[in-house]
Amino acid sequence: MKRLAVLTSGGDCSGMNATLRAVVRAGLASGIEIVGIQKGFQGLIDRQYEIMTTRSVSNVLQRGGTFLQSARCKEMQSEAGLQLAIETLKGLGATGLIVIGGDGSLKGAHAIHQQGLPVIGIPASIDNDIPFTDMALGVDTALNNIIKAVDNLKDTASSHDRAFVVETMGRGCGYLAVVATIASGAEYSLIPEEPYDLELICSDLRRRFREGRSNSIIMVAEGAGKAQDIADQIKDRIGFETRIVVLGHYQRGGSPSVFDRLLGARFGQAAVENLLKGNHGKMVGLRASEIVLTDLAKVVAAGSRPIDPMLPLLASQLSV
């Protein structure tokens, strides 16, 4: 029987389990055995794996995180680590590998592909900074987590005429902060892609409170600043007691949204199907509701996906 290996790598996100379930069940339906590698590339180096059955993926669809566990693996960046990973795959008799993860993980996938092993990458990162896909896995659930938090904060903020600075994740990408601003009706979004003027924000905050607005929410992407620094600067400039919430890893967990469950199902099935067809060295992606393939080499060379400039524009137009 043919064997494919699958692993989840880098920061976990909701929808990884749904994707694993799709890989295992689509594989078994095509008569392919699936080996689950534990703890990402580290598991390939340390030979930690399990043979998956249809029951291995029962009852996982609704769970966040990844039951195979994940890791950020420095060793994979060395030639020795890469060769150990290849040896494990060969030893397992795996004729292909599916890597579910973010930009660093896709680099690892590409490195293995360059050694002649068939690989398909699946983009998974709440940051939504992976090029050649409109959405990565986990983004939609993370956004739902963020707006749920902001909705709650608005209740308490408006009971006290308060401003809140809410810090989102996203590494160097402001996608989560700006989309959450639009979707939650927050007032300001500070993102690394665009300069911001705290002086202007402060005078606008004053105007809002003069007009009797009961709350103001300032979203800040972690790549654009620290919530506490921004709150301190607001206090120093205009004396407002501004509270902060750093959402941190709360954003990454939780039961996946319908969107992420469906995306995981489609990505997982497409990864297996394309490996079996001999289309490898590719990343699956979503483009205007179609599943598309892009060469891993092109994905890795492109760097981070830029955010659509319409998003910050829309965020500022709608928050007056």
Tokens 């639009």 correspond to: 182
As measured in angstroms, the least distance from the Cβ of 176 to ligand F6P is 8
Residue with Cβ nearer ligand F6P (11 or 43): 11
Catalogue the active-site residues: 127
Residue with Cβ nearer ligand F6P (209 or 250): 250
**Is the Cβ–Cβ distance between 177 and 168 less than 8 Å?**
yes
Using CB under 6 A as the binding rule, the residues of this chain from 86 to 115 that contact ligand F6P are 102
As measured in angstroms, the least distance from the Cβ of 142 to ligand F6P is 8
Query: β-pairing, 33-37 with 215-221?
Result: unpaired
E strand or H helix at 266? helix 258-277
As measured in angstroms, the least distance from the Cβ of 128 to ligand F6P is 10
Residues 7-46 vs ligand F6P: string with x where CB under 6 A? Answer: ----x-----------------------------------
List 65, 170, 225, 268, residue binding ligand F6P (CB under 6 A): 170
**Is the Cβ–Cβ distance between 307 and 174 less than 8 Å?**
yes
Q: Both ends of the chain: CA-CA distance in Å? A: 62
List 17, 19, 70, 125, residue binding ligand F6P (CB under 6 A): 125
Query: Helix (H, G, I), strand (E, B), or coil: what is residue 70?
Result: coil
Residue 305 within binding range of ligand F6P, rule CB under 6 A: no
Tokens 């709360």 correspond to: 250
User: Which residue of the chain is nearest ligand F6P when measured via CB?
Assistant: 169
Measure CA 248 to chain center: 13
**Is the Cβ–Cβ distance between 101 and 135 less than 8 Å?**
no
- Structure-block tokens of residue 162: 């308060």
List 37, 126, 296, 307, residue binding ligand F6P (CB under 6 A): 126
Tokens 């590698």 correspond to: 37
As measured in angstroms, the least distance from the Cβ of 169 to ligand F6P is 3
Q: How far apart are CA 311 and CA 78, in angstroms?
A: 38
Using CB under 6 A as the binding rule, the residues of this chain from 204 to 263 that contact ligand F6P are 222, 252
The contact set with ligand F6P (CB under 6 A) reads 11, 102, 125-127, 169-171, 222, 252
